[in-house]
């Protein structure tokens, strides 16, 4: 019988497993706190448990399933990319970005991606499979342990790595609940951000969660023809319907929504496009994150230069739309936005 991944169990499921083994309920809390508070790396390290029970758990459960395969560091030592391999041979990448005042993890939710955005390396590689909640959580704990060794800790988590989080909604939300659990890792919901290409039913479902987790929507174009060429998902969820769903999200949650805009030279970075975007977003509680497109092998478009990015930003600012240009990180190791492709 295959072993069960402990990180794939929420606290209630873990309690049920422990009770089924004939142990008292408090043993489950000991296991939970050892994993998420003490951050043990092996079941044998849970010394609060009797040795016999540790052996039984070790025989039936796994604590770590992701095999670190390749670690790559940027030339400025501010970004690190980790390639993991799952037991069934699927690949995924996780990125750690170091800043003066924070340490951000970019987490993958799928191996590959089915959305097919033409400028995204993950979309270019196609879809392999969804990651389990345990595999999502394990990426975080892996880097939490690494950072603790150098006196740092994870301060922000963005679900912007490989995959479309809302295409794997249930497992992603389960992972978030585990990470947010006050009796365990206790990671603040407001320090997590989910990014989606714009799957309308899941945006509306997420609004009903009344979660404090931040929401970012990848936009990149202001009309259906242009957006559908870049992002096939637009054919199913047209831009005006998407923005209506975003307004409903804000009305329901009273939380600001972020829009991601990859600036592509002479495609979506001109002043006229910026003015149209300002009209689309007028009156919406939002913030626009601009990022100069990062290069990928199968897309010929180039990222806008700094001047064009600044001009685009100024048009939005004059229209009263909150906007910023995101700092680019890890480009030299293909760890920037849209560059993850689980290649060795």
∠ Cα 148 149 151 (to 5°): 60
* Tokens matching residue 235: 């054919």
The one catalytic residue in 117, 120, 286, 337 is: 337
Q: CB within 8 A of 34, min separation 6: which ones?
A: 40, 45, 46, 48, 49
* Tokens matching residue 315: 């048009």
Is 93 a catalytic site residue? Answer: yes
Instruction: Give the separation between CA 314 and CA 283, rounded to whole angstroms.
Output: 18
197 phi and psi, to 5 degrees?
-75, -10
In 3D space, the residue among 46, 52, 50, 51 whose CA is nearest the CA of residue 32 turns out to be: 46
Segments in the chain forming alpha helices (H)? 11-20, 26-36, 51-60, 121-125, 133-148, 169-180, 200-209, 224-230, 239-253, 271-281, 306-318
140 in Cβ contact with 108 (< 8 Å): no
* CA count, 13 A, side-chain hemisphere, 311: 14
* Tokens matching residue 189: 């919901």
249 phi and psi, to 5 degrees?
-60, -50
Is 337 a catalytic site residue? Answer: yes
Strand partners, 286: 257
The one catalytic residue in 93, 138, 144, 164 is: 93
Instruction: Give the separation between CA 102 and CA 97, rounded to whole angstroms.
Output: 8
Separation in Å, CA 52 to CA 32, 59, 125, 219: 18, 11, 46, 54
The catalytic residue positions are 93, 337
């Amino acid at each position: 019988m295959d072993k069960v991944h402990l990180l794939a169990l929420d606290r209630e499921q873990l309690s049920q497993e422990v009770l089924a083994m004939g142990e008292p309920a408090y043993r489950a809390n000991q296991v939970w706190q050892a994993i998420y508070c003490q951050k043990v790396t092996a079941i044998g390290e849970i010394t609060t448990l009797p040795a016999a029970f540790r052996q039984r758990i070790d025989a039936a459960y796994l604590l770590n399933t992701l095999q670190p395969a390749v670690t790559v560091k940027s030339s400025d030592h501010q970004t690190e990319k980790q390639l993991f391999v799952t037991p069934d041979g699927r690949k995924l990448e996780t990125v750690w970005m170091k800043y003066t005042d924070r340490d951000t993890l970019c987490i993958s939710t799928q191996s590959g991606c089915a959305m097919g955005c033409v400028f995204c390396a993950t979309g270019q590689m196609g879809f392999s499979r969804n990651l389990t909640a345990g595999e999502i959580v394990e990426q975080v704990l892996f880097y939490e342990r690494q950072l603790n060794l150098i006196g740092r800790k994870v301060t922000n988590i963005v679900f912007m790595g490989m995959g479309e989080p809302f295409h794997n909604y249930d497992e992603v939300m389960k992972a978030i609940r585990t990470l947010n659990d006050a009796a365990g890792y206790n990671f603040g919901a407001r320090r997590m951000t989910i990014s989606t290409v714009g799957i309308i039913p899941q945006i509306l479902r997420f609004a009903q969660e009344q979660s404090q987790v931040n929401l970012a929507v990848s936009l990149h174009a202001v009309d259906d023809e242009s957006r559908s060429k870049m992002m096939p998902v637009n054919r199913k969820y047209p831009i005006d319907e998407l923005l209506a769903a975003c307004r409903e999200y804000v009305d329901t949650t009273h939380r600001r929504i972020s829009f991601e805009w990859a600036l592509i030279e002479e495609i979506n970075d001109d002043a006229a496009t910026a003015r149209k975007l300002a009209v689309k977003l007028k009156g919406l509680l939002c913030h626009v994150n601009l990022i100069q497109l990062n290069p990928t092998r199968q897309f010929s478009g180039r990222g806008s230069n700094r001047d064009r990015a600044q001009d685009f930003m100024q048009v939005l600012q004059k229209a009263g739309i909150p906007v910023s240009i995101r700092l680019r990180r890890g480009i030299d190791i293909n760890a920037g936005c849209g560059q993850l492709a689980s290649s060795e």
